[in-house]
Amino acid sequence: MAAWRSWAALRLCATVVLLDMVVCKGFVEDLDESFKENRNDDIWLVDFYAPWCGHCKKLEPIWNEVGLEMKSIGSPVKVGKMDATSYSSIASEFGVRGYPTIKLLKGDLAYNYRGPRTKDDIIEFAHRVSGALIRPLPSQQMFEHMQKRHRVFFVYIGGESPLKEKYIDAASELIVYTYFFSASEEVVPEYVTLKEMPAVLVFKDETYFVYDEYEDGDLSSWINRERFQNYVAMDGFLLYELGDTGKLVALAVIDEKNTSVEHARLKSIIQEVARDYRDLFHRDFQFGHMDGNDYINTLLMDELTVPTVVVLNTSNQQYFLLDRQIKNVEDMVQFINNILDGTVEAQGGDSILQRLKRIVFDAKSTIVSIFKSSPLMGCFLFGLPLGVISIMCYGIYTADTDGGYIEERYEVSKSENENQEQIEESKEQQEPSSGGSVVPTVQEPKDVLEKKKD
């Protein structure tokens, strides 16, 4: 009886899971060639996928959850997916070059999603891009609410001006990454001090920074640099994004599972420098920590000891390492100042020699990873071609050897036959030298035999 109940409960759970999957899929529309003509009336969040793509298959359940969530909250954004291999012409019109590609289509505009492939991050992207390009903040209460809700956001303060036009242009390009607001001077918190109006500010890390055209240069470039918190937990994707900012990245490379004092100490030093020296270094440096050294090792093409501190220039793959252990915050600050004044030599880079080294390193790493993850697959992928090549080489070698032997044997046989013929001819022409010697019988002519017969 108990076994029957367990079986019934298991079947019920399986049925619930299947129903949940069916319900989620019901809120994601399968798009075809008619989508091109009908899409302009709505805002669409579309996943362009390929049926054979492993990353696309991994995204599918997350995408179904996105569709269900967007429908349940009453979002005006419709969620769909399109097989880019079946409708390649439509996919190419939207600039799809890889799978999966997530785009929000809003009128004639198409926005690429480049963030983590999680449900919350994708939904946040859809809300941000589908709304107004620049959202107004009409009151201090609304301003405070935005500060609590968003870790990083930008605000234009003032009326119509050339700076506002630049702000709008920058927002249209960078809305995929962050939020843009506008407000009057009366709405701004009292702790904000503005030397001149209009102004553009970024609020993050419980403080704010004001854009200065003379020190910060182009507004879009400044926004792209300042859209990150001053200290963040790093991964490979975020390091790639930081490559466009031009900032150096000061990293504590640690093992978060390791509870030793040294790992926590280095992480704390980087956090203190990011917090206490923010005004001094935030224009040139991004701070953070990374769990594990696997990604850093591929970047440096070397085995980095954990825990340690490294400073990366992700725009040209250069890096800086200290030749001694960092003991305190003052050591780290001195290290950063030495990098800025050029007294610390940069390693790595993107020269031709470094690129060749990277090709060799990547090939070696790929082979090692294949053998580690699946030894049988590694033997098949690399052993089979090597075996075929070995057999071919052996066949060519043995064919040449046998041919030479046969040819040599033929030449020897031919020489022996010629010598034998010469010996026989000399015997036939030789005169009898003695009575006891045996003289070969010589056949007489035919006419002489006939006369003897008569």
SS3 of 316, please? coil
The pair of three-digit structure tokens given for residue 155, joined into one six-digit string: 């605000």
Q: Which residues contact 152 (CB under 8 A, 6 or more apart)?
A: 178, 202, 203, 204, 226, 227, 228, 229
The pair of three-digit structure tokens given for residue 326, joined into one six-digit string: 């960092």
Residues known to be catalytic:
53, 56
Distance CA 253, CA 236 (A): 13
Long-range own/partner contacts, residues 384-392 (CB < 8 A, 24 or more apart) = none
From its phi and psi, is residue 342 left (phi > 0), alpha (psi between -120 and 50) or beta?
left
43-49 and 135-136 beta bridge pairing: unpaired
Integer angstrom CA distances of residue 322 from 288, 325, 339, 345:
17, 7, 10, 10
Distance CA 273, CA 107 (A): 45
Please give the helix or strand (H or E) that residue 428 lies within, else none: helix 384-429
CB atoms within 10 A of CB 413: 10
Q: Which residues contact 107 (CB under 8 A, 6 or more apart)?
A: 40
Distance CA 66, CA 113 (A): 14
Distance CA 107, CA 95 (A): 16
Distance CA 199, CA 156 (A): 6
Exposure string for 200-221, b = 16+ CB within 10 A, e = fewer:
bbbbbbeebbebeeeebeebbe
Which one-letter amino acid corresponds to residue 38? Answer: N
Task: Please calculate the CA angle 350-285-178 and round it to the nearest 5 degrees.
Answer: 100
